[in-house]
Amino acid sequence: MRQKNYASFTSEVSNQRPDHIIIGSGIGGLTAAAWLAKGGKKVMVLERHYVPGGFTHVFKRKQGFQWDVGVHYVGNVGEEDSLKGLFEFITDGALEWESMGDVYDVAIINAKRYEFRQGEEAFAAQMKEYFPKEIDAIDNYIALVNASNKRSAAFFLEKTFKPILQYTLGYFFRRRFQKYAQRTTYEVLRELTDNQTLIAVLCAQCGNYGLTPKRSSFAAHALVIGHFMKGGYYPKGGAEQLWQRTIDTINDNGGSVYINADVQEIVVEKNRVRGVRVENTFIPCKSVISNVGVLNTFQKLLPKKYAQHCRVSTSELERATAHFCLYVGLDASSEALSLPKHNVWWYAHNDTDAIINEATPKNAPEQFAYISFPSAKDPYWDKSHPNTATIQAISVAHYDWFKAYEEQPWRNREDAYKEMKESFKETMLARLFELFPQIESHVVITEVSTPLSTKHFTNYQKGEIYGLAHTPKRFKLPFLRSETKIKGLRLAGQDVTLVGVAGAMISGMLCATTILKFKSWKLFKQINGLDWKPDSA
């Protein structure tokens, strides 16, 4: 068994006197820690949960099964792709990726199948085969995706600028990006075509950014579509390899990671960070990087007067959607059951917004299901879990459905809550058996998570998995930057940049550069194949 590369928090930790404390061990925080540690800074990561990793961790059950909780696939990490070097840098090359193959996503809409193929040309050709009368619309769509993404790197890089650049050069970077960010996905696509099924297919992956076509920013849509255009990949050995290998790098460079470390307060005096308080233990430091979300940072960890000073208003911040998830364990291998590597996006019809907006606890899986097969994606699964397989099946959930039970203890909520979970399980299993009838006699374990499960483990107060909603307004919020108005307080995570592993990782890197400054460019030279230019996609 591999030795743990993290430890439980004790009051003696306060004696270490770190330069920088990172709150939260999601990939954004770990990336910032890895960069800073490699830059010669003494870093400490504090995680409130009993296992590190945030949405990159997995949970296990005694029957020998395990499931990832947030990493279903990652894009842009092929041999020649731009993000591969960044992952190699934070893991010292110890992370391996498995391609999901030529087809990485399949959308089933109104009982018809649509495949998403690896590579821009293959993607376009396949879509044109499905929609031969929409060739111009498809070409124009891809051109708009590329144009939007070309502006995105400069927009996110601008988040590290000091005020003098922020209000000069930064203005032009923001303006060029907002052309795409301030329109909804549906508005843009509706100008290209009036074919509602084509629009539904092009938006089938909207679950990756957690917002429907009529509410999401086209820029967010374009970034996610572009991210996967070259195909999907999965970490060999499972999602936990992301945090395990990154923590190895942090340890190897003198940093430390502690679990069961529930930060109660970021201590600020005279508008400058002095440290953090974990229960009754004060830990001084030069700066704090919060990777636990903007809302948690400003509403829960800072004194009120400083939260107001940073001009963060609850009314300005819309939370992303929540979800139901069914975890399934099977007593036969993925190969024996012919389970695919690709993900399945199943929709009852082509009105995506209606499906999500009109969902109820009883009908959600009858309207929408996202199905992932982690054991089929991981080439190492069969070595450690022979003759077994796993499935995750997700549908929409609204936090209000569960609000009546939010104060009840985890795993000991009233029967009405348990009945909601049981109803979801049965309905989702029916969907799975319809799509994959060969698994019906092989189900040996099931478990359901709700937005209350997400809240319990991540502290996101409405069970949102994607932080702030990716609406057009989100991309104009002035305080979503690496540095805050409080000296020594910085932000990392998906709220600063974009949803997902890649977005959070980029946020951590950008945050670290505000501390390392020119030294960060020396570290960039260690990244093989990275061509980081403001206007690169």
The span from the first CA to the last CA of the chain, in angstroms, equals: 41
Q: What pLDDT band is residue 531 in, cutting at 50, 70 and 90?
A: very low
Distances (CA, A) of 336 to 20, 191, 198, 260: 49, 46, 34, 40
| Residue 459 confidence (pLDDT) | 83
pLDDT digits over 67-126, tens only? Answer: 998 899 999 999 989 899 999 999 999 999 999 999 999 999 999 999 999 999 999 999
**How confident is the model over 508-515, as a mean pLDDT?**
96
| Residue 315 confidence (pLDDT) | 62
| Residue 529 confidence (pLDDT) | 44
Multiple choice CATH, 7-56+239-317+466-524, 3.40.47.10, 3.50.50.60, 3.10.50.40, 2.40.30.10: 3.50.50.60
* Contact between residue 22 and residue 35 where contact means Cβ atoms under 8 Å apart: no
| Residue 535 confidence (pLDDT) | 35
pLDDT digits over 484-502, tens only? Answer: 999 999 999 999 999 999 9
**How confident is the model over 276-287, as a mean pLDDT?**
96
| Residue 534 confidence (pLDDT) | 34
Give the whole-number percent of the chain exceeding pLDDT 90: 82
Which two tokens mark 305?
Answer: 């007067």
Whether 270 shows a pLDDT value over 50: the answer reads: yes
For residue 213, give the DSSP letter: T
Rounded (5°) CA angle 352-341-132: 50
Q: Can you tell me which residue has the tokens 């970490």?
A: 235
d(CA 368, CA 15): 51
Give the whole-number percent of the chain exceeding pLDDT 70: 96
pTM to 2 decimal places: 0.94
| Residue 352 confidence (pLDDT) | 97
Taking alpha carbons only, the member of 505, 386, 495, 502 closest to residue 72 is 502
Whether 299 shows a pLDDT value over 70: the answer reads: yes
| Residue 304 confidence (pLDDT) | 83
| Residue 30 confidence (pLDDT) | 98
Whether 528 shows a pLDDT value over 80: the answer reads: no
| Helical axes 135-157 vs 185-192, angle rounded to 10° | 150
Distances (CA, A) of 294 to 99, 105, 268, 287: 33, 31, 17, 17
pLDDT digits over 24-76, tens only? Answer: 999 999 999 999 999 999 999 999 999 999 999 898 887 789 999 889 999 99
Q: Can you tell me which residue has the tokens 């940049």?
A: 497
* Contact between residue 507 and residue 90 where contact means Cβ atoms under 8 Å apart: no
| Residue 457 confidence (pLDDT) | 83
Taking alpha carbons only, the member of 216, 293, 292, 295 closest to residue 473 is 216
Q: What pLDDT band is residue 311 in, cutting at 50, 70 and 90?
A: low
Q: What pLDDT band is residue 524 in, cutting at 50, 70 and 90?
A: confident
Least confident of 92-101, 332-341, 450-459: 450-459
Q: What pLDDT band is residue 536 in, cutting at 50, 70 and 90?
A: very low
Q: What are phi and psi of 503, to 5 degrees?
A: -60, -45
pLDDT digits over 343-358, tens only? Answer: 999 999 999 999 999 9
Cβ neighbours of residue 524 under 8 Å, at least 6 residues apart? 530, 532
Which two tokens mark 180?
Answer: 């795409």
Which residue ranges make up each domain of the chain? 7-56+239-317+466-524, 137-228, 321-458
**How confident is the model over 186-196, as a mean pLDDT?**
98
Round the average pLDDT of the chain to a whole number and report it: 93
* 232 vs 165 pLDDT, higher one: 232
Whether 7 shows a pLDDT value over 60: the answer reads: yes
Number of alpha carbons in the 13 Å side-chain half-sphere of residue 257 = 32
Whether 537 shows a pLDDT value over 50: the answer reads: no
Whether 312 shows a pLDDT value over 90: the answer reads: no
Whether 373 shows a pLDDT value over 60: the answer reads: yes
d(CA 31, CA 465): 19
Whether 1 shows a pLDDT value over 70: the answer reads: no
Whether 380 shows a pLDDT value over 50: the answer reads: yes
| Residue 411 confidence (pLDDT) | 82
